[in-house]
C-alpha cells in the first residue's frame, strides 16, 4: 500500500473516532441541566431579568456553604460558556444524533467533506488528440463531484508529462506551489471544535452514561448496588449476580459494596462530564459545581438519541 493510501486510511479512522466522540458528547449535552437551561434562554422561555437568578438556582445545591457575591458573579460569568456551547450545538431536545449530525454536527467537527487529495482527472495518450467529449465528461465529473465533495479546495489543474524523472517532476511541482502561494491550513484551523487535549478512553465514557441512565430510571428506594448490577459497571464484580434475585449476605456483601462504590463513582463522573461538555470541554473531568441531575431530562435523552449511524 502506498503512503497516500495509508494516509487516507488514517484520515478515515480519525474521522470515525471523531464522530464516535461527538456521539458521546451529544448524549452528555442532552442530559446536562445546564445545557437545558441555556436552551430555555435561547427559546426566550425565561425573561432576561430572571436569567441570573435562574443560573444561581440551578447550582443552589452544588455547594452547601453560602456563596459570596463574588462567587455568584463568577458562576454567572462562567455560564456564558454554556450559552455559547448551546448556540453552536443548537437545540438537542428530542433530536436523534443522525439527524443532528447531518444538519449541524458534521459542520461543527469539520467532517462535512472528504479530505482533499491528489487525483487523476484524465490521462492523455502520447501522439494522439484526446476524445473531446470524453475529456469534458471527466473534467465535469471531477468538478461537480470529486472536488465538490472536498468542499472545492484551492487547487492547480496541471499537466504532468510521463517519462520525466520523478525527482525533476517534484521540483517543478514545488516551484508551482511556491509561485501560487498556496497556504497549508494549520491543524489548529482544520476543526471548529477540538476535544480536550487529554482524551479519556471511549468505553468508560459510554459506561458512565449507561450508569447515569440506569440510576435515573431506577425507583428512589432501589439500592445502589442493584442499579450497578443492572448497568454492569464492573463485569468482573457483576458476573454471576442477578440484580433481581441476589440478596445481601455475608458472602456477597463485599462484592455488592464494591459495585455500589463503582456505580456512585460512574454517576458522579457522568454528571461532571455532562457539565464540562455544556461548558465546551469534552471529554473533561475538570472539577466544577454540578447541578442536581434531572431524571426526566435523562429519560428523554435516552429515548430520543437513536444510534450512531
pLDDT in tens, 22-59: 999 999 999 999 999 999 999 999 999 999 999 999 98
The residue among 189, 209, 228 that closes a domain is 189
**pLDDT at residue 201 in the model:** 85
Q: Per the domain annotation, does 123 fall within a domain?
A: no
Residues 86, 158 within the same domain: no
Q: Per the domain annotation, does 117 fall within a domain?
A: no
Residues 229, 293 within the same domain: yes
Residues 146, 198 within the same domain: no
**Which distant-in-sequence residues (6+ apart) come within 8 Å of 278 by Cβ?**
29, 32, 34, 35, 38, 82, 85, 86
Q: At what angle do helices 253-278 and 224-231 cross, to 10 degrees?
A: 70
Q: Hey, how many other C-beta atoms are within 10 angstroms of the C-beta on 177? A: 12
pLDDT tens digits, one per residue of 112-141: 666 677 888 888 888 778 888 888 888 888
Q: How many domains does the chain have?
A: 2
Listed residue (132, 144, 172) closest to 156, CA to CA: 172
Q: How far apart (Å, rounded) are the C-alpha atoms in residues 20 and 119?
A: 29
pLDDT averaged over the chain?
86
Residues 8, 102 within the same domain: yes
Q: Per the domain annotation, does 93 fall within a domain?
A: yes
Residues 13, 66 within the same domain: yes
Q: Per the domain annotation, does 125 fall within a domain?
A: no
Residues 91, 225 within the same domain: yes
CB neighbour class for 145 (10 Å; exposed up to 12, middle 13-18, buried from 19): exposed
Listed residue (267, 203, 202) closest to 230, CA to CA: 267
Q: Per the domain annotation, does 118 fall within a domain?
A: no
> Which residue segment(s) compose the domain that 183 sits in?
132-189
The residue among 189, 206, 227 that closes a domain is 189
**pLDDT at residue 217 in the model:** 95
Q: Above pLDDT 70, what percent of the chain?
A: 87
Residues 281, 138 within the same domain: no
Q: Above pLDDT 90, what percent of the chain?
A: 49
Angle at CA 276, nearest 5°, toward 49 and 296?
A: 70
Residues 68, 158 within the same domain: no
**Which distant-in-sequence residues (6+ apart) come within 8 Å of 52 by Cβ?**
76
3 state SS of 156: coil
Residues 94, 229 within the same domain: yes
3 state SS of 129: coil
Residues 156, 86 within the same domain: no
Q: Which pLDDT band holds residue 155 (cuts at 50, 70, 90)? A: confident
Choose between 215 and 164: higher pLDDT.
215
Residues 209, 79 within the same domain: yes
Q: Per the domain annotation, does 126 fall within a domain?
A: no
Q: Per the domain annotation, does 104 fall within a domain?
A: yes
Q: How far apart (Å, rounded) are the C-alpha atoms in residues 101 and 228?
A: 31
The residue among 172, 189, 206 that closes a domain is 189
Q: Which pLDDT band holds residue 251 (cuts at 50, 70, 90)? A: confident
**Which distant-in-sequence residues (6+ apart) come within 8 Å of 114 by Cβ?**
149, 150
Residues 145, 209 within the same domain: no
| pLDDT of residue 87 exceeding 90 | yes
Q: Per the domain annotation, does 121 fall within a domain?
A: no
Amino acid at each position: 500500500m502506498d503512503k497516500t493510501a495509508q494516509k487516507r486510511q488514517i484520515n478515515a479512522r480519525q474521522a470515525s473516532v471523531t464522530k464516535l466522540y461527538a456521539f458521546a458528547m451529544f448524549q452528555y449535552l442532552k442530559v446536562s441541566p445546564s445545557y437545558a437551561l441555556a436552551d430555555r434562554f435561547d427559546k426566550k422561555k425565561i425573561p432576561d431579568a430572571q436569567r441570573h437568578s435562574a443560573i444561581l438556582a440551578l447550582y443552589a445545591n452544588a455547594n452547601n456553604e453560602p456563596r459570596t457575591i463574588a462567587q455568584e458573579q463568577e458562576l454567572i460569568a462562567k455560564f456564558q460558556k454554556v450559552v455559547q456551547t448551546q448556540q453552536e450545538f443548537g437545540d438537542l431536545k428530542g433530536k436523534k444524533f443522525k439527524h443532528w449530525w447531518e444538519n449541524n454536527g458534521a459542520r461543527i467537527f469539520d467532517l462535512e467533506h472528504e479530505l482533499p487529495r491528489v487525483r487523476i482527472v484524465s490521462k492523455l495518450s502520447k501522439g494522439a488528440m484526446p476524445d473531446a467529449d470524453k475529456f469534458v465528461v471527466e473534467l465535469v465529473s471531477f468538478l461537480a463531484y470529486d472536488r465538490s465533495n472536498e468542499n472545492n479546495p484551492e487547487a492547480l489543474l496541471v499537466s504532468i508529462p510521463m517519462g520525466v524523472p520523478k525527482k525533476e517532476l517534484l521540483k517543478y511541482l514545488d516551484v508551482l506551489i511556491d509561485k501560487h502561494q498556496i497556504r497549508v491550513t494549520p491543524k489548529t484551523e482544520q476543526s471548529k471544535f477540538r476535544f480536550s487535549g487529554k482524551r479519556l478512553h471511549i468505553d468508560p465514557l459510554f459506561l458512565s452514561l449507561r450508569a447515569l441512565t440506569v440510576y435515573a430510571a431506577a425507583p428512589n428506594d432501589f439500592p445502589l448496588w442493584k442499579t450497578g448490577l443492572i448497568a454492569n459497571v464492573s463485569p468482573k464484580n457483576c458476573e454471576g449476580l442477578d440484580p433481581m434475585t441476589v440478596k445481601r449476605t455475608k458472602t456477597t456483601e463485599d462484592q455488592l459494596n464494591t459495585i455500589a462504590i463503582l456505580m456512585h463513582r460512574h454517576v458522579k463522573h457522568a454528571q461532571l462530564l455532562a457539565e464540562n461538555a455544556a461548558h465546551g470541554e469534552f471529554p473533561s473531568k475538570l472539577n466544577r459545581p454540578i447541578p442536581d441531575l434531572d431524571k426526566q431530562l435523562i429519560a428523554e435523552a435516552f429515548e430520543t438519541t437513536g444510534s450512531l449511524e
